[in-house]
Amino acid sequence: MVQGTANWNTGQTQEWLQQYVDDWVAFYRKHTDDGEVASYIPVLAKADPNDLGISIIGKSGMTVRSGDTETPFTMQSISKVISFIVACMERGVSYMLDRVDVEPSGEAFNSIMHLEMNQVQKPFNPLINAGAITVSSILPGKTSDIRLESIFRLLEQLLGYRPALNVDVYESERDSSMRNRAIGYYLLETGFLESDLNVTLETYFKQCSIDVTIDDLARIGMVLANDGMDVKKGEEIIPRQIARIAKVLMLTCGMYDASGKFATYVGIPAKSGVSGGIVAAVPPRVRDEAMPFTDGCGIGVYGPALGDKGNSIAGIRLLRHIANQWDLSIF
Ligand code: GLU
Protein backbone atom coordinates (compact mmCIF):
# COMPACT_ATOMS: atom_id res chain seq x y z
CA MET A 1 0.00 0.00 0.00
CA VAL A 2 1.07 3.58 -0.61
CA GLN A 3 2.54 4.54 2.75
CA GLY A 4 2.77 7.86 4.55
CA THR A 5 0.95 11.05 3.72
CA ALA A 6 0.94 12.03 0.09
CA ASN A 7 1.40 15.62 -0.96
CA TRP A 8 -2.14 16.10 -2.24
CA ASN A 9 -0.98 19.43 -3.68
CA THR A 10 0.89 17.71 -6.46
CA GLY A 11 -2.21 17.03 -8.47
CA GLN A 12 -5.75 15.91 -7.99
CA THR A 13 -6.71 14.48 -11.31
CA GLN A 14 -9.18 11.67 -11.24
CA GLU A 15 -6.54 9.22 -12.53
CA TRP A 16 -4.12 10.22 -9.80
CA LEU A 17 -6.65 9.79 -6.97
CA GLN A 18 -7.83 6.57 -8.60
CA GLN A 19 -4.43 4.94 -8.11
CA TYR A 20 -4.55 5.62 -4.41
CA VAL A 21 -8.11 4.37 -3.97
CA ASP A 22 -7.38 1.18 -6.00
CA ASP A 23 -4.42 0.56 -3.75
CA TRP A 24 -6.40 1.12 -0.54
CA VAL A 25 -9.28 -1.09 -1.66
CA ALA A 26 -6.84 -3.91 -2.51
CA PHE A 27 -5.26 -3.52 0.94
CA TYR A 28 -8.51 -3.43 2.92
CA ARG A 29 -10.06 -6.29 0.96
CA LYS A 30 -7.85 -8.57 3.09
CA HIS A 31 -9.65 -7.21 6.15
CA THR A 32 -12.92 -8.73 4.95
CA ASP A 33 -11.64 -12.00 6.48
CA ASP A 34 -12.11 -10.43 9.93
CA GLY A 35 -15.90 -10.23 9.53
CA GLU A 36 -18.91 -12.36 8.63
CA VAL A 37 -21.91 -11.81 6.38
CA ALA A 38 -25.30 -11.43 8.08
CA SER A 39 -27.26 -14.67 8.08
CA TYR A 40 -30.31 -13.96 10.27
CA ILE A 41 -32.02 -12.98 7.02
CA PRO A 42 -31.16 -16.23 5.17
CA VAL A 43 -30.78 -14.80 1.64
CA LEU A 44 -28.21 -12.24 2.84
CA ALA A 45 -25.87 -15.13 3.69
CA LYS A 46 -25.37 -15.71 -0.06
CA ALA A 47 -23.25 -12.54 -0.39
CA ASP A 48 -19.55 -12.96 -1.16
CA PRO A 49 -17.77 -12.03 2.10
CA ASN A 50 -14.67 -10.85 0.23
CA ASP A 51 -16.49 -8.21 -1.80
CA LEU A 52 -15.42 -4.63 -1.18
CA GLY A 53 -16.17 -1.56 -3.25
CA ILE A 54 -16.30 2.21 -2.92
CA SER A 55 -17.71 5.04 -5.01
CA ILE A 56 -16.94 8.70 -4.31
CA ILE A 57 -18.78 11.44 -6.23
CA GLY A 58 -17.65 15.06 -5.87
CA LYS A 59 -19.58 18.27 -6.44
CA SER A 60 -17.96 18.83 -9.82
CA GLY A 61 -19.05 15.34 -10.81
CA MET A 62 -15.54 13.91 -10.39
CA THR A 63 -16.02 10.23 -9.56
CA VAL A 64 -13.54 7.79 -8.11
CA ARG A 65 -14.78 4.23 -7.82
CA SER A 66 -12.96 1.01 -7.13
CA GLY A 67 -13.39 -2.67 -6.24
CA ASP A 68 -16.77 -4.39 -6.53
CA THR A 69 -18.58 -1.44 -8.00
CA GLU A 70 -21.36 -3.22 -9.88
CA THR A 71 -22.70 -5.64 -7.25
CA PRO A 72 -26.27 -4.74 -6.24
CA PHE A 73 -27.23 -5.12 -2.59
CA THR A 74 -30.31 -4.28 -0.55
CA MET A 75 -30.54 -1.02 1.36
CA GLN A 76 -31.55 -2.60 4.67
CA SER A 77 -31.15 -0.01 7.43
CA ILE A 78 -29.99 2.66 4.99
CA SER A 79 -33.65 2.79 3.89
CA LYS A 80 -34.49 4.15 7.36
CA VAL A 81 -32.89 7.48 6.45
CA ILE A 82 -34.97 7.64 3.28
CA SER A 83 -38.27 6.65 4.93
CA PHE A 84 -37.73 9.21 7.69
CA ILE A 85 -37.05 11.93 5.10
CA VAL A 86 -40.17 10.93 3.13
CA ALA A 87 -42.31 10.93 6.28
CA CYS A 88 -40.99 14.38 7.26
CA MET A 89 -41.72 15.68 3.77
CA GLU A 90 -45.24 14.22 3.79
CA ARG A 91 -46.25 14.87 7.40
CA GLY A 92 -44.01 17.73 8.50
CA VAL A 93 -40.98 17.78 10.79
CA SER A 94 -42.75 18.64 14.04
CA TYR A 95 -45.37 15.94 13.49
CA MET A 96 -42.56 13.38 13.09
CA LEU A 97 -40.44 14.62 15.98
CA ASP A 98 -43.49 14.39 18.25
CA ARG A 99 -43.63 10.68 17.42
CA VAL A 100 -39.99 9.62 17.08
CA ASP A 101 -37.13 11.02 19.15
CA VAL A 102 -33.64 11.98 17.97
CA GLU A 103 -31.56 10.41 20.75
CA PRO A 104 -29.03 7.56 20.39
CA SER A 105 -30.40 4.49 22.14
CA GLY A 106 -27.11 2.89 23.18
CA GLU A 107 -28.74 -0.49 22.54
CA ALA A 108 -28.71 -2.91 19.60
CA PHE A 109 -30.66 -1.79 16.51
CA ASN A 110 -33.33 -4.45 17.09
CA SER A 111 -33.64 -4.11 20.86
CA ILE A 112 -37.00 -4.01 22.61
CA MET A 113 -35.45 -3.80 26.05
CA HIS A 114 -34.76 -0.06 26.01
CA LEU A 115 -38.35 0.73 25.09
CA GLU A 116 -39.70 -1.22 28.03
CA MET A 117 -37.02 -0.38 30.58
CA ASN A 118 -37.18 3.37 29.98
CA GLN A 119 -40.96 3.63 29.61
CA VAL A 120 -40.27 6.02 26.76
CA GLN A 121 -42.87 8.37 25.28
CA LYS A 122 -41.64 7.58 21.77
CA PRO A 123 -38.98 5.38 20.16
CA PHE A 124 -35.43 6.73 20.61
CA ASN A 125 -34.72 7.54 16.96
CA PRO A 126 -35.85 6.63 13.44
CA LEU A 127 -32.66 4.73 12.60
CA ILE A 128 -33.25 1.85 15.00
CA ASN A 129 -35.90 -0.73 14.17
CA ALA A 130 -38.52 0.44 16.69
CA GLY A 131 -38.27 3.99 15.33
CA ALA A 132 -38.16 2.92 11.70
CA ILE A 133 -41.19 0.64 12.08
CA THR A 134 -43.04 3.54 13.71
CA VAL A 135 -42.07 5.73 10.72
CA SER A 136 -43.35 3.02 8.33
CA SER A 137 -46.70 3.18 10.16
CA ILE A 138 -46.90 6.95 9.54
CA LEU A 139 -46.12 6.92 5.80
CA PRO A 140 -49.29 7.81 3.89
CA GLY A 141 -51.24 5.04 2.17
CA LYS A 142 -53.48 2.13 3.11
CA THR A 143 -51.31 -0.57 1.53
CA SER A 144 -47.60 -1.31 1.76
CA ASP A 145 -47.26 -0.78 -1.99
CA ILE A 146 -48.71 2.73 -1.79
CA ARG A 147 -46.39 3.55 1.11
CA LEU A 148 -43.44 2.10 -0.76
CA GLU A 149 -44.34 4.22 -3.76
CA SER A 150 -43.54 7.41 -1.82
CA ILE A 151 -40.11 5.97 -1.00
CA PHE A 152 -39.56 4.98 -4.64
CA ARG A 153 -40.56 8.48 -5.76
CA LEU A 154 -37.87 10.12 -3.65
CA LEU A 155 -35.28 7.50 -4.65
CA GLU A 156 -36.09 8.07 -8.31
CA GLN A 157 -35.43 11.79 -7.88
CA LEU A 158 -32.19 11.14 -6.03
CA LEU A 159 -30.86 8.44 -8.36
CA GLY A 160 -32.29 9.37 -11.73
CA TYR A 161 -33.89 5.93 -12.13
CA ARG A 162 -36.35 3.76 -10.26
CA PRO A 163 -34.58 1.05 -8.25
CA ALA A 164 -36.12 -2.43 -7.95
CA LEU A 165 -37.47 -4.41 -5.04
CA ASN A 166 -35.41 -7.56 -4.39
CA VAL A 167 -38.25 -10.02 -3.92
CA ASP A 168 -36.01 -12.86 -2.65
CA VAL A 169 -34.61 -10.72 0.15
CA TYR A 170 -38.05 -9.32 0.97
CA GLU A 171 -39.60 -12.79 1.26
CA SER A 172 -36.62 -14.05 3.24
CA GLU A 173 -36.96 -11.25 5.79
CA ARG A 174 -40.75 -11.45 5.87
CA ASP A 175 -40.58 -15.17 6.67
CA SER A 176 -37.79 -15.00 9.24
CA SER A 177 -38.13 -11.69 11.05
CA MET A 178 -39.71 -12.76 14.32
CA ARG A 179 -37.83 -10.05 16.22
CA ASN A 180 -39.27 -7.25 14.08
CA ARG A 181 -42.75 -8.73 14.49
CA ALA A 182 -42.18 -8.71 18.26
CA ILE A 183 -41.12 -5.05 18.10
CA GLY A 184 -44.21 -4.35 15.99
CA TYR A 185 -46.54 -5.95 18.54
CA TYR A 186 -44.85 -4.04 21.34
CA LEU A 187 -45.31 -0.76 19.45
CA LEU A 188 -48.94 -1.67 18.79
CA GLU A 189 -49.58 -2.39 22.45
CA THR A 190 -47.96 0.86 23.58
CA GLY A 191 -49.92 2.93 21.05
CA PHE A 192 -46.91 4.12 19.03
CA LEU A 193 -48.11 2.67 15.72
CA GLU A 194 -50.31 4.94 13.63
CA SER A 195 -51.76 2.27 11.35
CA ASP A 196 -52.30 -1.42 10.75
CA LEU A 197 -49.41 -3.58 12.01
CA ASN A 198 -49.24 -5.97 9.06
CA VAL A 199 -49.23 -3.18 6.47
CA THR A 200 -46.56 -1.41 8.52
CA LEU A 201 -44.30 -4.46 8.75
CA GLU A 202 -44.76 -5.26 5.05
CA THR A 203 -43.74 -1.68 4.25
CA TYR A 204 -40.70 -1.97 6.50
CA PHE A 205 -39.57 -5.33 5.05
CA LYS A 206 -40.01 -4.04 1.50
CA GLN A 207 -38.17 -0.76 2.03
CA CYS A 208 -35.22 -2.71 3.48
CA SER A 209 -35.22 -4.92 0.36
CA ILE A 210 -34.72 -2.24 -2.31
CA ASP A 211 -31.66 -2.99 -4.44
CA VAL A 212 -29.01 -0.29 -4.87
CA THR A 213 -25.35 0.03 -5.89
CA ILE A 214 -22.50 2.01 -4.35
CA ASP A 215 -22.93 4.69 -7.04
CA ASP A 216 -26.53 5.11 -5.89
CA LEU A 217 -25.41 5.54 -2.28
CA ALA A 218 -22.74 8.04 -3.33
CA ARG A 219 -25.44 10.07 -5.14
CA ILE A 220 -27.68 10.04 -2.06
CA GLY A 221 -24.69 11.06 0.08
CA MET A 222 -23.89 13.90 -2.30
CA VAL A 223 -27.41 15.36 -2.09
CA LEU A 224 -27.37 15.13 1.71
CA ALA A 225 -23.88 16.69 1.80
CA ASN A 226 -25.37 19.67 -0.05
CA ASP A 227 -28.29 20.06 2.36
CA GLY A 228 -30.76 18.40 0.01
CA MET A 229 -29.70 20.09 -3.25
CA ASP A 230 -28.91 18.21 -6.43
CA VAL A 231 -26.11 20.59 -7.41
CA LYS A 232 -25.89 19.25 -10.95
CA LYS A 233 -29.54 19.99 -11.68
CA GLY A 234 -29.66 23.04 -9.40
CA GLU A 235 -32.75 21.55 -7.81
CA GLU A 236 -33.75 21.07 -4.17
CA ILE A 237 -34.80 17.44 -3.71
CA ILE A 238 -34.98 17.38 0.08
CA PRO A 239 -35.85 20.50 2.12
CA ARG A 240 -32.74 21.82 3.84
CA GLN A 241 -34.07 21.43 7.40
CA ILE A 242 -34.96 17.79 6.79
CA ALA A 243 -31.60 17.01 5.13
CA ARG A 244 -29.84 18.53 8.13
CA ILE A 245 -31.83 16.48 10.65
CA ALA A 246 -31.08 13.36 8.60
CA LYS A 247 -27.34 14.12 8.78
CA VAL A 248 -27.48 14.74 12.53
CA LEU A 249 -29.20 11.38 13.00
CA MET A 250 -26.64 9.67 10.77
CA LEU A 251 -23.78 11.15 12.78
CA THR A 252 -25.24 10.35 16.19
CA CYS A 253 -27.11 7.10 15.49
CA GLY A 254 -26.14 5.88 12.00
CA MET A 255 -23.52 3.24 12.73
CA TYR A 256 -25.31 1.16 15.39
CA ASP A 257 -23.49 0.96 18.71
CA ALA A 258 -20.29 2.09 17.03
CA SER A 259 -21.70 5.54 16.15
CA GLY A 260 -19.58 7.35 18.76
CA LYS A 261 -16.39 5.64 17.61
CA PHE A 262 -17.21 6.29 13.96
CA ALA A 263 -17.84 9.99 14.71
CA THR A 264 -14.55 10.13 16.62
CA TYR A 265 -12.30 8.32 14.15
CA VAL A 266 -14.00 9.09 10.82
CA GLY A 267 -16.15 12.12 11.62
CA ILE A 268 -18.64 11.93 8.74
CA PRO A 269 -22.45 11.53 8.85
CA ALA A 270 -23.02 7.96 7.64
CA LYS A 271 -25.53 5.13 7.79
CA SER A 272 -24.84 1.45 7.40
CA GLY A 273 -27.02 -1.58 6.78
CA VAL A 274 -26.68 -5.30 7.51
CA SER A 275 -26.18 -6.16 3.85
CA GLY A 276 -22.84 -4.32 4.09
CA GLY A 277 -23.68 -0.96 2.55
CA ILE A 278 -22.66 2.42 3.94
CA VAL A 279 -23.80 5.83 2.71
CA ALA A 280 -21.71 8.83 3.78
CA ALA A 281 -22.26 12.56 3.27
CA VAL A 282 -19.15 14.76 3.33
CA PRO A 283 -20.11 18.47 3.40
CA PRO A 284 -17.83 21.11 1.86
CA ARG A 285 -14.81 21.94 4.03
CA VAL A 286 -12.64 25.05 3.81
CA ARG A 287 -9.65 24.02 5.92
CA ASP A 288 -7.08 22.96 3.38
CA GLU A 289 -7.56 23.64 -0.31
CA ALA A 290 -4.88 21.09 -1.16
CA MET A 291 -7.09 18.19 -0.09
CA PRO A 292 -9.31 16.34 -2.57
CA PHE A 293 -13.09 16.90 -2.52
CA THR A 294 -12.96 20.07 -0.40
CA ASP A 295 -16.28 21.08 -1.95
CA GLY A 296 -17.89 17.96 -0.51
CA CYS A 297 -18.68 14.50 -1.79
CA GLY A 298 -21.00 11.57 -1.38
CA ILE A 299 -19.57 8.14 -0.65
CA GLY A 300 -21.06 4.69 -1.12
CA VAL A 301 -19.36 1.60 0.26
CA TYR A 302 -20.19 -2.08 -0.03
CA GLY A 303 -18.53 -4.84 1.98
CA PRO A 304 -20.91 -7.52 3.28
CA ALA A 305 -18.52 -9.02 5.87
CA LEU A 306 -19.65 -7.33 9.09
CA GLY A 307 -17.84 -6.65 12.35
CA ASP A 308 -19.29 -7.32 15.79
CA LYS A 309 -21.35 -4.10 15.78
CA GLY A 310 -23.00 -4.96 12.45
CA ASN A 311 -21.06 -2.54 10.23
CA SER A 312 -19.03 -3.52 7.14
CA ILE A 313 -15.69 -4.33 8.74
CA ALA A 314 -13.43 -3.56 5.79
CA GLY A 315 -15.74 -0.75 4.66
CA ILE A 316 -15.32 1.11 7.95
CA ARG A 317 -11.56 0.67 7.94
CA LEU A 318 -11.36 1.86 4.33
CA LEU A 319 -13.51 4.91 5.11
CA ARG A 320 -11.44 5.72 8.15
CA HIS A 321 -8.26 5.56 6.09
CA ILE A 322 -9.62 7.79 3.33
CA ALA A 323 -11.12 10.26 5.80
CA ASN A 324 -7.77 10.61 7.53
CA GLN A 325 -5.75 10.87 4.32
CA TRP A 326 -8.08 13.45 2.78
CA ASP A 327 -9.11 15.22 5.98
CA LEU A 328 -12.80 14.52 5.36
CA SER A 329 -13.95 14.83 8.99
CA ILE A 330 -16.54 17.51 9.61
CA PHE A 331 -14.86 18.36 12.94
N1 GLU B 1 -34.08 -5.44 7.61
C2 GLU B 1 -33.11 -5.48 8.66
C3 GLU B 1 -33.77 -5.79 9.99
O4 GLU B 1 -34.71 -5.17 10.34
C5 GLU B 1 -32.40 -4.17 8.71
C6 GLU B 1 -31.38 -4.16 9.77
C7 GLU B 1 -30.19 -3.31 9.48
O8 GLU B 1 -29.76 -3.15 8.34
O9 GLU B 1 -29.67 -2.80 10.47
O10 GLU B 1 -33.36 -6.64 10.69
Please confirm, yes or no, whether 137 is among the known catalytic residues. no
How far, in Å, from the CA of 190 to the mean position of ligand 1?
22
Pick out the chain residues at pLDDT < 70. 1-12, 117-119
What pLDDT is attached to residue 6? Answer: 63
How far, in Å, from the CA of 40 to the mean position of ligand 1?
10
What pLDDT is attached to residue 11? Answer: 58
What pLDDT is attached to residue 283? Answer: 96
Q: pTM for this structure?
A: 0.95
CA-closest candidate to residue 212, choices 200, 223, 224, 220 = 220
Please confirm, yes or no, whether 274 is among the known catalytic residues. yes
What pLDDT is attached to residue 124? Answer: 87
Atom 7 of ligand 1, nearest CA residue = 77
What pLDDT is attached to residue 16? Answer: 86
